[in-house]
Amino acid sequence: MAPAVLVVDDEARLGEVLAAALAERDFEAVAVCSAAAALAYCDANPVDAVLTDLRMPDKSGRDLLLALKKDRPDLPVIVMTAYATVRGAVDLVKDGAFDYVAKPFELDDVVATLERALKIRAVVSENARLRTELEGRYAFDTLIGRSPPFQDVLRQAGEVAQSKATVLLQGESGTGKELVARAIHYNSPRRDLPFIAVNCAAIPETLIESELFGHVKGAFTGATGSRDGRFTAANRGTLFLDEIADMPLPVQAKVLRAIQEQTFEPVGSSKSVKVDVRIIAATHKDLQKEMASGAFRMDLYYRLAVFPITLPPLRERGEDIPLLAGHFLRKAAEDMGKRIEGLSPAAAAAMTAYAWPGNIRELQNCMERAAIVARGSAIELKDLMLFGPDGPPVAEARALPADLDEELARIERDFVLEALKEAGGVQARAAERLGITERSLWHRIKKFAIKVSRVAEAQE
């Protein structure tokens, strides 16, 4: 759809000529003769940009600019003026103009300015949309769970969100520590500023100091240029230090100083950098034991544990299991184009009784696999893969996969191949056999590079 541009000029003929010229450049351009007519037009029609003359009788282009910015702050306004001066241009930009063009102008210059304004507006709108989506996703009332232990976590997170206090999230792997960290950030006064996550266990010991604090050119072999670190990237926002117990002791000392004084020196530099960063740290390890063994600094622990929150394991959130399972199942079924209504009573009972050593992450993987293998409208006991200390309590015993995602992909591919073989290569029949749409089946055939004409051979 062509961008809608409103041209405002008290000289009607000039406005019409400019609108016609813009129409030839793939803009949907309309011309009006006054600021009042422009405001009325904007009230009745969608407009993507305004191109207005500065000097007009009654209300000037600046008056129009101020009126538009009051009600439509994201609408780019470009001012045309034959009296262009540096002072005037600066004043216009201060008033909210995107830019100005000096008369007489070349049409190419006007088009280039419009295209730049529209591109920036699109980026700003997309960022605002994504920010709204993120804030909605991490609102406390969207986090799933009504059990008392989880409600206690939400209460504590809500209490600390509005403060600058450092937060320490503790709990087993897979309990949702990063989800809670993001919820604290997106419900804090820093919600519009960066949330930077760092997994301390995933960064090599030789690189973690540079990753956190940055480095200057020549600081070490391979440092061909200066680079900002994560503390700088998170300035005025939130830095999430996940698995902080795996941070090397020498780096812990520098992190302690950075948290206490909000200053640090990049690697290879003697110049201090000042930042304003809110720290949220997380670990699945017992920091008391880590301190006792000398693997974690006691002074860093007390600096981090200003507001500790312990996330309960899933086995202590029994009434939340059906809620979480239903949420993950709906999402998995939607992604696969399948119609699955829920869990059978036997499957629900088995899931509630299961200990979930992998916590929420294991539950999500379980639902994704079950959605793949399910043949009916509900998840049955045989569709589940639940592992206990002595093997799976349902289905036959088997070893834990080395790579769960790879194993799930293999199972999915096998079922697609089997359905295609049974259907003699007819995709419509195979899709019906799997309970998915033909389009969904086509995506899987493409994903797994299956040659439909050779399906029977591939299965043998």
92, 173: one domain = no
Task: Report the share of the chain in percent with pLDDT over 70.
Answer: 90
Least confident of 100-104, 433-437, 455-459: 455-459
Domain boundary among 273, 296, 312: 312
pLDDT in tens, 332-342: 999 888 889 88
pLDDT for 87: 60
Q: What is the CATH number of the domain that holds 120?
A: 3.40.50.2300
- What CA–CA distance (Å, rounded) separates 284 from 191? 26
pLDDT for 106: 86
166, 128: one domain = no
412, 284: one domain = no
- What CA–CA distance (Å, rounded) separates 375 from 377? 7
Phi, psi (deg, nearest 5) at residue 62: -65, -40
- What CA–CA distance (Å, rounded) separates 458 from 381? 30
436, 383: one domain = no
49, 104: one domain = yes
Quote the Cα angle for 90-94-97, to 5°: 90
pLDDT for 345: 87
347, 423: one domain = no
pLDDT in tens, 203-224: 998 899 999 999 988 888 778 8
Residues facing residue 273 across a β-bridge: 264
- What CA–CA distance (Å, rounded) separates 184 from 364? 23
Q: Give how far Cα 312 sits from Cα of 129, 173, 284, 351, 356, Å.
A: 33, 11, 11, 17, 12
236, 117: one domain = no
Q: What is the CATH number of the domain that holds 411?
A: 1.10.10.60
- 398 or 127, greater pLDDT: 127
pLDDT in tens, 254-302: 999 999 999 999 999 989 999 999 999 999 999 999 999 999 999 999 9
368, 273: one domain = no
The pLDDT-based confidence of 426 (bands split at 50, 70, 90) is: confident
Domain boundary among 79, 109, 132: 132
Average of per-residue pLDDT across 307-314: 96
Is 42's pLDDT higher than 50? yes
Is 396's pLDDT higher than 60? no
Domain tally, the chain: 4
pTM: 0.62
pLDDT in tens, 142-167: 788 989 999 999 999 999 999 999 99
Is 394's pLDDT higher than 50? no
CA-nearest of 342, 366, 339 to 440 is 339
The pLDDT-based confidence of 80 (bands split at 50, 70, 90) is: confident
Q: Give how far Cα 439 sits from Cα of 332, 375, 428, Å.
A: 16, 18, 9
- What CA–CA distance (Å, rounded) separates 446 from 63? 58
Residue matched to tokens 């191109």? 51
Is 180's pLDDT higher than 60? yes
350, 229: one domain = no
323, 430: one domain = no
Q: What is the CATH number of the domain that holds 162?
A: 3.40.50.300
Q: What is the CATH number of the domain that holds 361?
A: 1.10.8.60
Mean pLDDT, rounded, of the chain: 87
CA-nearest of 132, 72, 59 to 98 is 72
Phi, psi (deg, nearest 5) at residue 80: -100, 130
pLDDT for 359: 94
The pLDDT-based confidence of 391 (bands split at 50, 70, 90) is: very low
29, 81: one domain = yes
Q: Contact 15/5 with Cβ under 8 angstroms?
A: no
Range of the domain at 79: 4-132
Residues facing residue 199 across a β-bridge: 242
150, 127: one domain = no
pLDDT for 52: 92
Quote the Cα angle for 389-392-397, to 5°: 110
Domain boundary among 86, 108, 132: 132
